[in-house]
Amino acid sequence: MKRWLERFDTYQHAHVWLAFPVAVVQRYRENLDTRLAALVTFYGFLSVFPLLLLLVTIAGLFLQGTNLNHALVNSALAQFPIIGGTLKQNLHAIARGNVAAGYISIFGILAGAFGVTNALQMAAFTVWRRPLEQWPGLVERLRIGLKIFTTLGLVLLLSSAATGVSTFSNSFFGGEPIIGRAVVLVVAFLINAVGYLAVLRFLAPRGTGLRNLLPGTVVGALGWTILSALSGYLLGHKLQHASQIYGFFAVVLGLVFWINLGAHLFLVASETNVVVAERAWPVTLRRL
């Protein structure tokens, strides 16, 4: 085994296409990204319902009676395949009887949802190995969190606008399902790329060039597009076995599983950018 690893190590040192992913895996292990993904998953799980509740409330306040209202909510729930319908049954807008109480409730929900943005920032700072004295304070973390939430809202708007792409592509290409699906996947990839690029830029150190952020953006956007396309199989397989044992709580397990996949993908995308920015390849396999 040692001789085989030495040969493989020599080979990957001479080939960038292999040395680069090996370096990403190496940094992933060194930074204990599995624990960081667990942290993001925990706060992401706690923030999902408040954020959806906030979305339903705001959409109801400003877009009541419009098609965009339903399109936004459906686009948000579409990010959680299979279990999105269960989440929708438990979503209700905040009561609007008292305007002041409504706005206070919105502010309180938003403050509670900042947990996931703080976890993302902590994970990103760890990945980039920024010293503690460079970590932002409370006000700066809130400002970055608001940027992330704004980006999520923009992605939802773009996703809502793209819902008609499937119908248009099917009619334009004569109802060819393969071509229509390909068009939808390309549009979904572009929308995911916009979101990933913005969030990775917010969380990267100042002065990080756009060229250093594009590889991670492609990895993250392509990975999430593929996961979304395979979501029916992934979550369906997961829930099929879990529901036999845990019943209704299988939905909770499915939600945690899906958020954890997204957290791991985000960290892999971040590590990809770090390896590119620091040109941290090749690495030796003897430390693996």
Tokens of 172: 């334009």
| Residue 165: predicted pLDDT | 56
What the block records as the tokens of 193 is: 């790329």
The whole-number average pLDDT for the span 193-200 is: 94
Segment 208-219 shows an average pLDDT of: 93
SS3 for 270-283 is HHHHHHHHHCCCCC
Q: Is the dihedral of CA 27, 31, 34, 39 positive or negative?
A: negative
Structure tokens at 72: 């936004």
Q: Under DSSP, is residue 128 helix (H, G, I), strand (E, B) or coil?
A: coil
Q: pLDDT (tens digit, 9 = 90+) per residue, 232-280?
A: 776 666 666 665 566 667 778 888 888 999 999 999 999 999 999 999 8
Mean pLDDT of 67-78: 73
* C-alpha span between 141 and 148 (Å, rounded): 10
What is residue 13's predicted lDDT score, i.e. its pLDDT? 87
Per-residue tokens: 269? 């995308």
- Which helix (H) or strand (E) covers residue 206, if one does? none
> CA 214 to CA 206: how far, in whole Å?
16
> CA 80 to CA 37: how far, in whole Å?
18
Residue pair 149/117 in contact (Cβ under 8 Å)? The answer is yes
What does the block give as tokens for 98? Answer: 């008292």
Q: Where are the domains of the chain?
A: 23-287
Rounded to whole angstroms, the Cα distance separating 270 from 124 reads: 7
